[in-house]
Structure 1
């Protein structure tokens, strides 16, 4: 079951039903089923503390994905999204906030489908996949 929450901020994802359907469509197109998948929207400071505590990183980020999957082909996890960072990145990249939010949401999903961005080549591949997914929104 796909769920959306917020922690320490007042945020509600616009077009939640459409976005939920889109996320499910992307997962099915990649051969995955959505199990328990939670998107948690939070502030920069909240996500920074998670980054420090669990990943030993002392910097802001727009997303952190925790994979809780136990069955192959079934996506389960928690995806934390900094609304502050998404808004700032939208300005930096010259896109609207909703588009940048969708990109970040799908980025987290792609991580749970074994896409990675640990090198420049893999980052480019992931960005291309994000662009492909955004076209079907």
Structure 2
């Protein structure tokens, strides 16, 4: 018998660890990675979720120190939990939709207003010129 597809392994979940006892030890990280990680952590804190594949790729290529790789699985689960919290907050989705409408209306108004202002300025200069 042949297999129709590759068997997929379930990803191992990290051991349950208490967030209060977790201590992040970023030993061996260079300044660029430290800056990128601070941006990611702060972004998740304010519910602006970033794509984490650049970190996963760096871990796969061996660019990250072993001390960070050991802690990354726990950190990643915490970040995913942070990302899942915002839609559950009452009223967030309605405000998000309202913000999208305001952004769209602003874009439409600017798309119309800027060419009109430029055209008015150009035609006023040609009317003044002898």
Provide the TM-score with structure 2 as the length reference.
0.25
| Larger Rg computed on CA atoms | 2
More RCO (CA 8 Å, sep 6+): 2
| Structure (1/2) with the larger helix percentage | 2
